[in-house]
Amino acid sequence: MRRFLSRKGRFSLRQSKSGTRSASKDFYLGLPATNQNWPEAFGFRLGGTGPSYILSVVEGSSAYLAGLQPGDQVVDIEGQDVTNLSTPALVALAQTLKTVPPSIGVVSRIEQIDVTPGPDGRFGFTIIGDCPLMVEDCMPNGPAGRNGLKAGDYVMEVNGIPVKHHETAAAMIKAAQGRPLRLGVLSMARRPKRLSSSMRVLSQSGDSIRESRAHKAMEFNKKVEEVLGEELDVKEQLFEVLKRYAAERDVDSLAEALPDILITEEHQQLIDNVRIFIPKKHRERFDEVVNQSLMSRIKGRSFSDPSRQHLRRSRSEDHAERLLVSTRASSVPRTHAEEGLVPPARGMRKTTSLIAGHSSGNTNNCRTVRVCKGNASFGFTLRGHAPVWIDSVIPGSPADKAGLKPGRPHPVPQWTGHEDLVP
């Protein structure tokens, strides 16, 4: 156990003395001097008669910033095994510890339950409360009851989305309209499974977050100096938009502004450096808007270039051609079967490489290009239907580095439309 914990990354929990839980404003304020009000003073609430579970986490609080999540079981505190301690016993122990706040080890205990509605469209259970939502009643022979849901269970997720409030969860369940429902459930009645490698350790000292943030800021400033050098106007615009984002937390505005400021391929490498400051839950949206902005700039240049006027389409032709920025596809390596030219099954569309180049009907004239996207998007758009062609490529993107080029090909065999390439 101890060796395992020592290999894990260490994070921090902290909260301002005033109780303000704004992630952007209270980061450097002091922690409570004692554990007297643990865990509430650090932004989370516990429950359970043994084991103890995290029932709720205040968004923006110390616990939230450190990665604690509703549905986690507390299994370790300052190196002591507390797997079977009740909440009162765990709180009493924590409040006697000298480390403020104590480090804890947690493991998620959320179970996924798939529920198919009955003939009447109902799922056979009701929920009450907020933060967390509790199953008030569940018909044992109803759709949910047959799949293991019980009264007293806590509903933490609906269709993969964390839920805290009754109204939100009820609306999501109602919106299912007879379709199957997936519930993320914490059940205190069921005996937890043994510990696994999914265990996480969280150190709640205030210094580690400050050091991590300061290090990131120093690395970012160093990169800005390296890339922008004496381009003072660009620096000023960049820091102005970052300052505005820090105040407003508007991801869309930031993502839209960056391509207008960082206009060269060399400058645009800074977008990845900015991305690390975006909360993980907002990064997909950040990538999407950045790609849209970059594509808009590329399209604007291409349409004004006489050499590319052949890419213009009438409105009626464009109606059947959906422009799609590839941000969702997976970077899973290709299998041996995919290395051939046999079309992939529909369920494997996200793992296939894309075929580029011209073809006169003979598959030997095609070339296979593997695009490794990593944490970024692929960086190109598709157009057309029977055939599909690469419409544009973002400079410096994974697609550009792999050698993909925009242009209208001859018909590509077997793959006929967007649906066969991108879900």
pLDDT tens digit sequence for 18-36: 444 333 334 334 467 889 9
Classify domain 230-302 at the CATH class level: mainly alpha
Name the strand (E) or helix (H) holding 406: none
Classify domain 318-421 at the CATH class level: mainly beta
| Pairwise CA distance, residues 7 & 27, whole Å | 26
Kindly give the pairing relationship between strand 161-162 and strand 354-356. Answer: unpaired
Residue 282 has a pLDDT of 85
Chain segment 80-95, per-residue pLDDT in tens: 889 989 999 999 999 9
| Residue 317: count of CB within 10 angstroms of its CB | 10
Q: Which is more confidently placed, 196 or 380?
A: 380
Domain ranges (residues) in the chain: 2-109+194-205, 111-186, 230-302, 318-421
Asked whether the predicted pLDDT for residue 100 surpasses 80, the reply is yes
Report whether 78 contacts 42 (CB < 8 A).
Answer: no
Give residues with Cβ within 8 angstroms of 86, minimum separation 6. 48, 49, 50, 52
Residue 222 has a pLDDT of 84
Residue 335 has a pLDDT of 43
Residue 17 has a pLDDT of 36
pLDDT confidence bin for 135, thresholds 50/70/90: very high
Chain segment 320-364, per-residue pLDDT in tens: 333 333 333 333 344 444 444 444 443 333 333 333 333 344 445
Closest alpha carbon to 423 in 355, 367, 356, 344: 344
pLDDT confidence bin for 59, thresholds 50/70/90: confident
Residue 202 has a pLDDT of 58
Residue 96 has a pLDDT of 92
Closest alpha carbon to 40 in 91, 74, 114: 91
Mean pLDDT of the region 231-257: 88
- State the fold for domain 111-186: Pdz3 Domain (2.30.42)
Q: In percent, how much of the chain has pLDDT > 70?
A: 64
pTM score, two decimals?
A: 0.44
CATH architecture of the domain formed by 2-109+194-205: Roll (2.30)
Residue 24 has a pLDDT of 36
Q: In percent, how much of the chain has pLDDT > 90?
A: 25
Chain segment 363-387, per-residue pLDDT in tens: 455 667 777 766 567 777 777 665 6
Angle, nearest 10°, between helix axes 232-248 and 206-228? 150
Asked whether the predicted pLDDT for residue 109 surpasses 60, the reply is yes
What is the average pLDDT score of the chain?
72
Do the domains at 2-109+194-205 and 230-302 have one common CATH topology? no
